[in-house]
Amino acid sequence: MKKYFVVLVLIVLVIGCENEQTKGLEAPEMPNVTGNSYSNMINHGFVAKQDNLLIYMKFNDSTIPFSNNAIMAKKEDGRNEVKLTSKGFGDINVIKEWVYYTVMPFSDVPMLYRVKLDGSEREKLVKGADYVQVKNDQVYYYDSIKNGIYKMNLDGTDKVQIYSPKSEVTMNFYVDREQIYFYKPIDEDGDEGKLYSMSLNGENIKKLNDTVSYTQIIDDADEHFLYYTDTEEHLYKVDKQNGKEIKITDQKFSSLIVDENWIYYLNPSDKYHIYKMKKNGEQNQLVLDKEVSDINMLDNLIYYKIDGQEDIFRVKTDGTGNTLFSKRK
């Protein structure tokens, strides 16, 4: 009898610990409207935030890529770190009680999954999802298998093709409030490198600017402009309303992030150290003198990975407070 009582006590203690561990990871009262920023997503989306909860990758230091990466969650103050799921690749979005992320199998075809904030109900949503953006109770993505921009409900139902090019090309795109801006490497006229806009349902397609003729990727956006780099890594912006194109600087850019006043980026001319400059190209200055491979940004903190390593660090946007955020597995 005592033996069974001891076992029962242990079970209760384990359940109690699990409940305590996941306490506070439920959906917040004021959930995100956007699962993650576009700039974070195009820079691999390895960290996201909802209220005071951080969702992030814990990378595996292994010769087998992505074999045992984990997606973790913890409070902003560092308490209650929990593992939500294994084998994540990145592209993290968090809305309400769900975390959306991609898995990269050996076939190199990304698969979009979601899992609850308590680590339960892991679900596969779609195969071949690129440029994933979760906004306003919809998931937008480029289907690399079916060749087109799609949207679906948060639970993966009602998949609808918004747009598909005639040629089989991968198109990156940015979902704005009422418009989708997208880049086509080759358009129907055979011209290379043009930016287009369309409504959220795929109607009213129009070329944004006839003078845009670079092989560029939309890197970020603000209220008025899309930001992108040309084939020589020079930074441009184009007005989303009238299509006016402006070259910001001859400085080379990589992995840029735009906020209200500054552009943060990796500088290819200086060993991919982190720099920032004003959005008009002025006041270019060093933030961190480390060779960095990836950056994400939340609030006034830049999260980054050092080239060749899998740890995640973070530093304030003024270059102070550099600390280790997540140790690799």
Give the other-Cβ count within 10 Å of 97's Cβ.
18
Distance CA(21)–CA(29), nearest Å, equals: 20
Residue 4 lies inside a defined structural domain of this protein:
no
- Per-residue pLDDT, 65: 53
Residue with tokens 């071949």: 128
What pTM value is reported for the model? 0.88
Ranges assigned E (strand) in 18-144: 47-50, 53-58, 70-75, 82-86, 90-95, 98-103, 111-116, 123-127, 129-135, 138-143
Q: Name which of 14-23, 157-166, 212-221, 247-256 the model is least confident about.
A: 14-23
Residue 275 confidence (pLDDT) above 70: yes
Residue that finishes a domain, picked among 164, 187, 207: 164
Highest mean pLDDT among 11-20, 74-83, 273-282: 273-282
Same domain, 34 and 153: yes
Domain CATH for 237: 2.40.10
Domain end (from 132, 164, 196): 164
Mean pLDDT of 263-290: 95
Residue 10 reports pLDDT greater than 90 = no
Rounded to 5°, the CA angle 223-226-231 comes to 165
| Containing structural domain, residue 143 | 30-164
Q: Where are the alpha helices (DSSP H) in the chain?
A: 2-22, 38-42
| Predicted pLDDT at 76 | 84
| pLDDT tens track for 173-193 | 999 989 999 987 765 565 667
Give the residue-averaged pLDDT of 43-48.
Answer: 94
Q: What is the CATH number of the domain that holds 67?
A: 2.120.10.60
Residue-level pLDDT at 23: 47
Instruction: With cut-offs at 50, 70 and 90, classify the pLDDT of residue 251.
Output: confident
